Structures are given as C-alpha cells and as structure tokens.
Amino acid sequence: MKRLLFLTSNNLATNPRLVKELRLAENQFECTVFSFDFSNWSDPLDEKLRSSLANVVFNRLSASKKPLFTWLLSSVIEKAAKILYPLSRRSMLLNAFGHSKRSFLLWVVLKWHKPTYDLVIAHNLASLYPAYIFAKKNKIPFAFDVEDYHPGEKIVDDFENERSRRIFLMKQLLPAAAYISYASPLIGEETLKLIKNLNRSSSILVNNSFSTKEFAPPVDKYSSKLHFVWFSQHIAAGRGLEHIIPALYKFKDSVQITLIGKLNSTFFKSYLQTYSDILDIQEPKPQSELHKQLGAYDVGLAFESGAADFNRDICLTNKMFAYVQAGLFVIATNTKGQTLFLKQNPWCGMLTGVTSTELNKALKELIAQKQEIRKNARSRFENGKTLAWENEEEKLLNLWKVI
C-alpha cells in the first residue's frame, strides 16, 4: 500500500480541502499528516475531524506560545529571515522562513522524521518549502494544492517584500512538483501565467465542492420571510457583510438572515448590533452539521469583495459550492471568479454589484420571486450533484495511483 504524507500550516478545521483529500485517501493509502494546533475556537472542531479519520496518523505542531521556547525560536528565525532577505533575495531558505515561521517549524520536524513515503502533498504556501526539501532529500515526488493565489492575497505588512517572497517560492519550487491542483479556473490560469515552465499536463482543477452525502434535500418552507444564510470561520469586518446587511435591513419585514461563524465582538458592537432584530447569529459548527442545516434556508450569500485583494476576485470559495449543493438560490457579488461560475451554471443564482442601487434592485427581485425560488429548490439540489466532490476525487485518485 502506498504511503502519503500530507503537510499543512493550518489545522483540519480551517482546511476543508485537506479533510476531503484525507477522507478519499485513508482507506486506500497509508496516510500521515503534519498540522498545527492554534489554541483557539477551532480546536474542538479540529479534534472532531481528527477523531473521524481513524486510519490517519496525525502529528501536531503548536502555532501558539506554548511551548514558549519553540514559539520564541521560530519568531526570531522569521524576523531574522525578513531582515536578511534584502541581502539575499534568491535564498530559498530566507524566502520560506521570512514568509512564515510555520515553514521553519515544519522544516525542523521533518529533518528528523524517518519514515519513508511515496508522495508528499503540501497544502498552504508555508508547507511548500518543507515539502520540497523533504521530498528532495528522500528522492520522492511532491505535489502542491494552490487553493489560493498567494501573491494576490491581502498582505498587511511589508507588502513588496512579502509578495516577492511568495512569487519566488512558487516560481522556484512548483516546476519541480509532480502535480499541482488549483481551486478555481482563474487561480489555475494566473498560476500558469506566473510560472511559464510549469507542466500544464500535470496541473489540474479540483473544485471546492463536497460529497453529495453531506447534504439533505431541501425542506419545504412556509415562512412569510425569505431566509438568507451566510457562513464563514469568522463573522467580522471585511467579509462583505458591511454591504449586504444594511441593504437587507431595508426589507426587514420580508427577510431573515442567519450568520454562522465565530463572532467578532468588536464588529458586533460597532456594526451588527444595529441590525440585530433581523439577525440569527450561530456559533461555528462541524461541516457535516452545517451542510445538513443549509437546506432549511432559501438564499445563500456569496459576498466576496474583488476590491479586497486579487485572490478574492478570482477564487471560488467552498461556501459557493455548499450553497449550490444544498439547493439554495445564490446571490453572489460580481467578482471574476463568481461571474465565470454563474455564467457556466446560470440555474443556481444571480450576480449583483455592491452599490446600494444594485443591491436594492437585486433584493427586490429576490423577494418578488420567493415562491419560485422555493419551488425550484429541489431542482437546484439535483443539478448541484453534477458539481459534487465525487466528480473531483477521481482526478486525484488517478494521480496518486500512477505517481
């Protein structure tokens, strides 16, 4: 039986793509994972996910200040790499460790990791360099999942240098990968544009969709109000809620909104509290529970902001697929990624801009079409099966078996 090593700089609760790969692989391959503990809201969800993957061996590193020595050492290494970076911009080690201290932590633990594997699969940019070094040392292939277009993500500090580090790591290391997978057509397009010598035949689109088994058929709805839903890891500023919540509030007699995620108290007090009479705010929940629950709603909110960063403009989030597979009607902002998706799948929803005029027009249309939206829920649910994970997993299985 082939042995697969998975690396991530996150945990399972914040990396649903990795969870799907592990569920696919655990009964056909021997699987080992290196991931991180964050000592935050995600830990209980992460523990449940790990418990559900009984055939997978987990090695967990700490991303928190415990143990203090490890945190201090990795922080000093990251800071030193950033300081030295301008002196040696082509140093792979400085680029990797300056990008993230978790890259250093993975690199250290893998230096002393003895088991042999047939393939290393890295998720998240901080795991790319450790995967490359480990694979090279042990003369085995490695792969990388480009879930996000990392040079186009929002960078808060040291923008020019950090963006250069990300571009350098991708350009230098990805051509050596046995394959790369990407999470949206436009992320793949941009990655191939960036890396001219990347092997296109070993670059595959793996959509952020889910197994059909995770969703229940939509329930009949009789409420006089059109019920909207939005979910994310965090309910906080900068996630599109600032646009849609005030627009929905103008129709408060006709709508209800459920928000699912870890609530930022400052955001609630300074912003959401004003609209609390139409809001139902729920804590984060396991993916399986969330997906079963989605069928109780009418409309899913996919409010990505293309202005936030380039990655947000071209990505396709897992919430888009979750809404569609649950049979919800989707109202999505007109980012490039979502515009392309709805052009290819016009049956599942509509696009809108984010100006007050555009949102008012879209919401009026939705409220007027409430009965039609509910009537077509089962049809959308069945159509959503064409986008399911079952259609994506074969691509990965075929690669894992032949590499």
123: amino acid identity, one letter:
H
How confident is the prediction for the chain on average, in pLDDT? 95
pLDDT value of position 373: 97
* pLDDT tier for residue 120 given thresholds of 50, 70 and 90: very high
> What's the rounded Cα separation, in Å, for the pair 272 and 235?
10
Query: Residues 321-329: what's their mean pLDDT?
Result: 98
Give the chain's radius of gyration (CA, Å).
22
Asked if residues 180 and 202 have their Cβ atoms less than 8 Å apart, the reply is yes
* pLDDT tier for residue 196 given thresholds of 50, 70 and 90: confident
Whether domain 3-209+390-402 has CATH 3.90.230.10: no
pLDDT tens for residues 334-349?
Answer: 999 999 999 999 999 9
pLDDT above 80: residue 72: yes
> What's the rounded Cα separation, in Å, for the pair 54 and 38?
22
pLDDT tens for residues 137-175?
Answer: 999 999 999 999 999 999 999 999 999 999 999 999 999
Query: Residues 30-54: what's their mean pLDDT?
Result: 94
Query: Residues 200-209: what's their mean pLDDT?
Result: 91
The 10 Å Cβ neighbour count of residue 55 is 12
Pairs from 176-179 (Cβ < 8 Å, separation ≥ 24) = 176/132, 176/136, 176/142, 177/141, 177/142, 177/143, 177/144, 177/202, 178/119, 178/141, 178/142, 178/143, 178/202, 178/399, 178/403, 179/143, 179/203, 179/204, 179/399, 179/403
pLDDT above 90: residue 199: no
pLDDT value of position 240: 86
Asked if residues 321 and 389 have their Cβ atoms less than 8 Å apart, the reply is no
Burial of 397 by CB count in 10 Å (0-12 exposed, 13-18 middle, 19+ buried)?
middle
Domains 3-209+390-402 and 212-387 share a fold: yes
pLDDT above 90: residue 197: no
Q: In terms of DSSP bridges, do strands 329-333 and 299-302 run parallel, antiparallel, or are they unpaired?
A: parallel
pLDDT tens for residues 249-280?
Answer: 999 999 999 999 999 999 999 999 999 999 99
> What's the rounded Cα separation, in Å, for the pair 56 and 275?
44
**Exposure class string for 58-96: b at 16+ Cβ within 10 A, else e:** beebebeeeeeebbeebeebbeebbeebeeeeeeebbbb
pLDDT value of position 358: 96
**Exposure class string for 150-166: b at 16+ Cβ within 10 A, else e:** bbbbebeeeeebbebbb
pLDDT value of position 74: 96
pTM: 0.93
* pLDDT tier for residue 236 given thresholds of 50, 70 and 90: very high
Give, in order, the Cα–Cα distances in Å from 150 to each of 124, 243, 308. Answer: 9, 25, 14
Looking at domain 212-387, which of 3.40.190.10, 3.40.50.2000, 3.30.50.10, 3.30.9.10 is its CATH number? 3.40.50.2000
Asked if residues 241 and 230 have their Cβ atoms less than 8 Å apart, the reply is yes
pLDDT above 80: residue 307: no
Query: Residues 304-313: what's their mean pLDDT?
Result: 85
Domain range summary for the chain, segments of one domain joined by +: 3-209+390-402, 212-387
pLDDT above 80: residue 306: no
pLDDT tens for residues 210-235?
Answer: 999 999 999 998 899 999 999 998 99
pLDDT value of position 95: 98
pLDDT value of position 10: 96
Query: Residues 186-203: what's their mean pLDDT?
Result: 91
